[in-house]
């Protein structure tokens, strides 16, 4: 139990549903302390206000802003409940209805064909209905769902003088050091000399207690003068869009934080928990099924409010300095009733648009762009559009060549070469000066071995290059689509054979310039058919979409078809894996890659001027050199990425 279960007990009792029931309450700890502060806004005639009236200790209808300005909430009220009063009411009901209680940790909850069971060490307890409100455990982020913390340190204080205005509370006072997070203070006054003052941080790391205490001390002294500390509240709430590790078991209903009742962008949960308790009770009264009150994570994430929350969470996580400006706009330019209705997820689209146009656009557009680029359809859609553009420009026309070469150059400079130029960071996440010389020497040595192989035995070098490229490309795609190692390799053998085989003549000219033997056969346009069947069978939209543009790419010149795969598919995918691992921004990755990236281009120039090749062999000899250069610099990169993928088997997805 506690908060959510206490609310359920109160609702069930109010509706006479606890009578003649056999009830057991289990918790790993006794709740006999005032450990939390529950606040929520509501109208006086809302069920929550009416039914929890006895528990509400204080209500305010005014917010105190900076510079002694006030903002009326009326007819809304901001209500406060001491958690101990909620727990005491639950205890009273437990006694009244002779409920059994056990103070012990639950090991697991499971089901057989007939019943749901609770395991307490070696004891198995059977129940008709289990309400499970154990604290949630979150899964690892799979689709870049944000996961940050609302951490706070609060002091209940008694001031020396009667300096507090008890009729208004301070909601989010940002007039404290931000320290690269979103940090604010809120003050809940209970009399003219008593208040709860809490410093709160929204961020990827919880606030350090001593840092928070320093901020509190300064803030309270500045606002109210001398004071005495009476109680301390230190907590941390997840603000998350990640999936909670739960099994859906018939007869087990999840409550509270475990049922996604904490609103991801605000940390408020109390009203949601009450609404769930209210709805469950109404359904039980009407003998209706209550299993549907278990929130489904993927359904939850499809709602437009989850989408807004995702943008807000992204800003809080990555651009926390914007939050103050956003919140100030909310307070100054948007009707507070509308803001709170929006946070309650009760606004309509028209009202939401009227809110968004008043907020600073830049951080939202940034978060939106990021969200779009992370959707499964973004990359294949862009690549399909680019392939169609090349087809539209006409095969081998000058305009196709110009557009193609410009895009190829931009792609290679922005992501193609840079994605392989941060290998020096992959092991430790930092540039390690002591390891650097060895790293550079081994990198040059490995590249050099491949260069010598090309020089002495080009046929062997080509085979070696093709094998490790296929391994590497297949590995990145395989991670993305959850392929086994063998399927990944088979996939990339098919892709390479397809790209080369559908460009039979061009491939043979390049092979010729590399001094290698010719491709023995061409591949038909539907050469990837079996993979298309697999994509449909696996219902993987991203994979299906990729196959569509790959098939179309047989109709554009070889270099552009290969470039689209290498830059658009492979480098982009590997870049996201690297970003995931290093946890730094795109611009930081690019800047970190710069020295090695620039070095790679210098090596290309050396290859261009000094590689001993007959320039009269064919007009494609430069591309031959380019491929040898790519083969050399990619070999150590393939090894480094392989080590990363093996190390991070479970976290890169
Ligand atoms: C300090 C604080 C202040 C908050 N203030 C507000 C607020 O003002 N407004 C608002 O809307 N929301 C607020 N929240 C958010 C939310 O309302 C609370 O987190 C609320 O307590 C969640 O209720 P719950 O029932 O899910 O979890 P809890 O009340 O935390 O109860 C979970 C219980 O499960 C028990 N448990 C866990 N694992 C096991 C196990 N294996 N076996 C047995 N028992 C187990 C724990 O001991 C605990 O008692 C606040 C949260 C915190 C932490």
pTM across the whole model: 0.81
The alpha carbon of 35 and the centre of ligand 1 are apart by a number of angstroms equal to 10
Query: Which residue's CA is minimally distant from atom 49 of ligand 1?
Result: 2
Test site for ligand 1: of 212, 269, 272, 293, most ligand atoms within 8 A of the Cβ: 269
Structural element, H or E, at residue 39? strand 37-43
By most ligand atoms within 8 Å of CB, the mutation choice from 257, 261, 272, 277 for ligand 1 is 257
How far is the C-alpha of 560 from the C-alpha of 543, rounded, in Å?
20
Ligand 1, residues 31, 188, 256: which to mutate, most atoms within 8 A of Cβ? Answer: 256
pLDDT digits (tens, 9 = 90+) for 521-560: 888 888 899 999 988 888 888 899 899 999 999 999 998 9
| Phi, psi of 121, deg, nearest 5 | 50, -110
Q: How far is the CA of 282 from the centre of ligand 1 (A)?
A: 23
Return the number of other C-beta atoms located less than 10 Å from residue 533's C-beta.
11
Distance 268 CA to ligand 1 centre (A): 11
Q: Does residue 567 carry a pLDDT above 60?
A: yes
Residue with tokens 């611009």: 587
For the CA of 261, the nearest atom of ligand 1: 26
Average pLDDT over residues 455-459: 85
Atom of ligand 1 nearest to the CA of 38: 8
Computed over its alpha carbons, how large is the radius of gyration of the chain?
A: 31
pLDDT tens-digit series, residues 156-213: 999 998 889 999 999 889 989 988 889 999 999 999 999 999 999 999 889 999 999 9
197: three-class secondary structure by DSSP: strand
What's the pLDDT score for residue 650?
45
- Cβ contact 473:637 at 8 Å: no
| Secondary structure class of 341 (helix, strand, coil) | helix
Please say whether the beta carbons of 648 and 581 come within 8 A. Answer: yes
**Could you read off the pLDDT of 222-251 as tens digits, one per residue?**
999 999 999 999 999 999 999 999 988 989
Q: Which atom of ligand 1 is nearest to the CA of 236?
A: 53
* Arithmetic mean of pLDDT over the chain: 89
Distances (CA, A) of 78 to 60, 184, 309, 340, 389: 5, 18, 22, 11, 57
- Over range 316-332, report the average pLDDT: 87
Q: Which among 345, 356, 330 is positioned nearest to 71, based on CA atoms?
A: 330
Q: Among candidates 201, 219, 25, 222, which has minimal Cα distance to 130?
A: 25
Convert the pLDDT of each residue in 270-293 to its tens digit. Answer: 999 999 999 999 999 999 999 999
pLDDT, tens digit (0-9, with 9 covering 90-100), for 346-365:
999 999 999 999 999 899 99
**What is the band of 651 on the pLDDT scale with cuts at 50, 70, 90?**
very low
116-120 and 108-111: which strand pairing? antiparallel
97 C-alpha to ligand 1 centroid (Å) = 24
Element (H, E) at 339: helix 336-343
Q: How far does residue 325's CA lie from ligand 1's centre (Å)?
A: 31
Site residues for ligand 1, CB cut-off 6 Å: 1-4, 26-29, 36-40, 105-106, 133-135, 233, 235, 237, 255-258, 262, 268-270
Best CA proximity match to 2, nearest among 40, 37, 29, 41 = 29
Give per-residue pLDDT as tens, 591-650. 988 888 888 888 888 877 777 665 555 666 677 778 888 889 889 999 988 888 887 654
Long-range pairs of 605-614 with CB within 8 A, sequence gap ≥ 24? 612/455, 613/513
pLDDT at 429 over 70: no
For 303, how many CA atoms within 13 A lie in the half-sphere containing its CB? 15
Nearest 5 degrees, angle CA 556-CA 375-CA 373?
A: 70
Taking residues 38-51, report their average pLDDT. Answer: 96
Say which residues have a Cβ less than 8 Å from residue 364's Cβ, sequence separation at least 6. Answer: 311, 315, 356
Residues 6+ apart with CB under 8 A from 53: none
Q: Which domains does the chain have, with CATH numbers?
A: 3-138+245-302 (3.50.50.60), 147-240 (3.30.70), 415-647 (no CATH)
Separation of CA 312 from chain center:
12
Separation of 95 CA from ligand 1 center, angstroms?
A: 22
Q: How far is the CA of 212 from the centre of ligand 1 (A)?
A: 22
Distance 55 CA to ligand 1 centre (A): 17
C-alpha 282/C-alpha 87 separation (Å) is 22
Q: How far apart, in whole angstroms, are the C-alpha atoms of residue 577 and residue 565?
A: 17
Of 6, 20, 95, 92, residue with least CA distance to 51: 6
Calculate how far, in angstroms, residue 164's C-alpha sits from the geometric centre of ligand 1: 30
């Amino acid at each position: 139990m506690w908060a959510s279960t206490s609310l359920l007990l109160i609702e069930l009792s109010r509706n006479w549903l606890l009578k003649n029931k056999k009830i057991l309450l289990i918790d790993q700890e006794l709740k006999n302390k005032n450990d939390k502060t529950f606040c929520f806004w509501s109208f006086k005639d809302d069920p929550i206000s009416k039914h929890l009236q006895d528990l509400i200790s204080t209500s305010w209808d005014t917010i105190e802003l900076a510079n002694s300005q006030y903002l009326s909430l009326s007819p809304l009220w901001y209500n406060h409940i001491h958690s101990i009063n909620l727990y005491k009411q639950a205890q009273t009901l437990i006694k009244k209805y002779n409920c059994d209680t056990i103070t012990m940790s639950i090991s697991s909850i499971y089901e057989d064909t007939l019943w749901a069971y609770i395991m307490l060490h070696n004891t198995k307890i059977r129940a008709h209905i289990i309400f499970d409100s154990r604290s949630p455990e979150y899964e690892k982020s799979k689709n870049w769902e944000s996961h940050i913390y609302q951490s706070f340190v609060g002091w209940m204080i008694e001031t020396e003088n009667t300096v507090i205005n008890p009729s208004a509370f301070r909601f989010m006072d940002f007039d404290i050091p931000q320290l690269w997070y979103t940090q604010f203070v809120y003050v809940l006054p209970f009399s003219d000399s008593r208040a709860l003052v809490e410093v709160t941080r929204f961020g990827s790391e919880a606030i350090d207690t001593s840092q928070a205490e320093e901020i509190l001390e300064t803030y309270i002294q500045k606002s109210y003068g001398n004071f005495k500390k009476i109680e301390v509240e230190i907590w941390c709430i997840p603000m998350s869009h990640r999936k909670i590790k739960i099994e859906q078991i018939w007869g087990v209903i999840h409550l509270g934080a475990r049922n996604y009742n904490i609103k991801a962008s605000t940390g408020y949960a109390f009203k949601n928990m009450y609404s769930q308790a209210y709805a469950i009770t109404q359904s039980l009264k009407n003998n209706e099924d209550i299993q549907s009150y278990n929130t489904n994570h993927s359904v939850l994430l499809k709602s437009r409010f989850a989408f807004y929350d995702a943008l807000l969470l992204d800003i809080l996580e990555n651009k926390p300095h914007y939050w103050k400006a956003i919140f100030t706009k909310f307070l100054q330019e948007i009707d507070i009733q509308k803001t709170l209705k929006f946070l309650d997820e009760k606004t309509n689209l028209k009202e939401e648009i009227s809110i968004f146009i008043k907020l600073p656009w830049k951080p939202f557009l940034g978060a939106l762009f990021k969200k779009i680029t992370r959707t499964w359809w973004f990359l294949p859609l862009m690549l399909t559009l680019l392939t169609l553009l090349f087809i539209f420009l006409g095969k081998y026309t000058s305009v196709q060549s110009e557009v193609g070469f410009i895009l190829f150059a931009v792609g290679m400079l922005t992501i193609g070469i840079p994605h392989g130029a941060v290998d020096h960071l992959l092991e430790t996440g930092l540039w390690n000066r002591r390891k650097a010389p060895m790293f550079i020497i081994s990198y040059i040595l490995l590249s050099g071995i491949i260069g010598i192989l090309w020089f002495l035995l080009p046929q062997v070098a080509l085979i070696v290059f093709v094998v490790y490229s296929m391994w590497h490309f297949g590995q990145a795609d395989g991670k993305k689509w959850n392929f086994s190692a063998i399927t990944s390799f088979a996939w990339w053998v098919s892709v390479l054979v397809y790209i080369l085989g559908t460009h039979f003549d061009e491939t043979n000219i390049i092979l010729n310039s590399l001094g290698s033997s010719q491709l023995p056969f061409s591949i038909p346009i539907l050469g990837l058919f079996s993979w298309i069947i697999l994509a449909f069978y696996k219902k993987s939209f991203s994979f299906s979409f990729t196959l569509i543009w790959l098939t179309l790419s047989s109709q554009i010149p070889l270099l552009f078809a290969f470039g689209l795969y290498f830059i658009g598919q492979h480098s982009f995918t590997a870049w996201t894996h690297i970003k995931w691992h290093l946890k730094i921004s795109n611009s930081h990755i690019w800047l970190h890659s710069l020295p090695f990236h620039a070095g790679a281009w210098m090596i290309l120039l050396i290859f261009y001027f000094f590689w001993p090749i007959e320039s009269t062999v064919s007009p494609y000899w430069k591309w031959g050199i380019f491929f040898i250069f790519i083969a050399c610099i990619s070999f150590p990169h393939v090894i480094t990425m392989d080590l990363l993928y093996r190390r991070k088997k479970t976290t890169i997805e």
